[in-house]
Copies of this chain bind each other. A is one copy, B any other.
Amino acid sequence: MKKLINSADTVIVDSLTGLAAAHPDLRVDVEGRVVYRAEGPRQGKVGLVSGGGSGHEPLHAGFVGYGMLDAACPGEIFTSPVPDQMIAASKAVNGGAGVLHIVKNYTGDVLNFEMAAELCAEEGVEVATVLVDDDVAVRDSLYTAGRRGTGATVFVEKIAGALAETGATLAEVAAVGKEVNARSRSFGVALSACTTPASGKPTFDLGADEIELGIGIHGEPGRTRASTAPAREIVRTAMDAINEDMPLSGDTLVMVNGMGGTPLIELYIVFAEVDAYLREHGASTARSLVGNYITSLDMQGFSVTVCRLTDELTRLWDAPVQTPGLRWGR
C-alpha cells in the first residue's frame, strides 16, 4: 500500500491538522474531532450538524461554513463518529433555535445520532433529524437497513443550510431537508475498489474488465457486476435505475460525483451523457455539480444524484455558500 500518510493510526488527526491550517474560517477541535465555523453560533439561527465516517472528503467537514453546516463530526475511516462528538457539536452550535442533525442512513450513524439527540434533549437542546436515504441501488445492504444515504447529503446540507441562514425555524429547516431527500435519487458505479489505510488492501476484488453497478460509498456490493462498457451505456444503466424509482421530469439539480480516484475529464464525459439522458426523458439539467464531493478514498468510479427541483429549492441552491468544498455568490 502506498498512501500519503504518516501512519494508519494518525490519518484523522493529521488530516484535521491540515484542514485547520488551510482554512482559517474553520475552528478545528483536533482532539475532540469536531470541525466548527470559526465565528461560532448566531443567535436565533438553527444550527446544522452532520458527520459520519471519514474517507468521503470533502463531505462533511469540507461543507462547514456560511450557508451550509455549522459543525461536522468526522469518525475514523468508514466508521461512525461517537455520540460525544455529536453532543459537543450540537451544544456548541445551538443559537437557541435548535439543531438539525443530517444523518446518512447507515446503522452505526443512525444509532449514534439518535443517542446524541436524546442526550441533547435532556440538556435542553432541541434536535430534529433528517435521514438521508437516496441510493436506489439496493435495499438492506452491508451496514444499512433500508436505503443507503449518499450524494443527496450534499444537496440536503446546502439547501437546508441556505434556509437556516434566513432565520427559518427548526421545523422549517428540517422540512426542507426532508423534501430534498424525498426528491433526490442516486446510483454509484465502481471501476476499482478503495484501500483503507488500516487494512492496506482493496475492500473487494474486481476483475480487470469488471465494474460494480450500484456500489456503496464504503465499497459495499451493488446490484451486479458487469463487464466494462462505454460511458454512455454505464450512465444509461445508472439513470434507468433512478428513473424507474423516481420518474424524471422538469428542472433537475444533477451531481456527477467522483469517487476519489476518477479524473475530472472522465466526470465531464459522464455528465454529458447524464445531461443527454435527462433531455431525452423530458427533463433538464437546471443546476449541476461535477467533481469530487462525496468520495470513497481512492476508488475509481462515479455516482450520479438527481434532485427534482422546485422554485424554492432552486432559490436556496443558488444562495451564497462559503465552505472549503462549495463556494459561490458571496
Contact = CB atoms under 8 A, between A and B. Distances in A.
B262 A4 contact: yes
Interface residues of A, number: 61
A107 to B, nearest CB: 23
Nearest to A211: B2
Contacts of A300: 2, 261, 298
A157 B243 CA distance: 41
A272 interface: yes
A127 B230 CA distance: 42
- Tell me the number of copies of this protein: 2
A172 interface: no
A24 B31 CA distance: 43
A192 interface: yes
Interface stretch (A53-61, A87-95, A110-118, A217-225): A53-61
A228 B54 CA distance: 23
Interface stretch (A9-17, A144-152, A160-168, A307-315): A9-17
A171 interface: no
Contacts of A3: 191, 266
Interface string A194-230: 0000000000000011010000000000000000101
Contact of A6 (B7, B269, B297): B269
A240 interface: no
B4 A264 contact: no
B297 A265 contact: yes
Interface string A14-42: 11111101100000000000000000000
Nearest to A269: B14
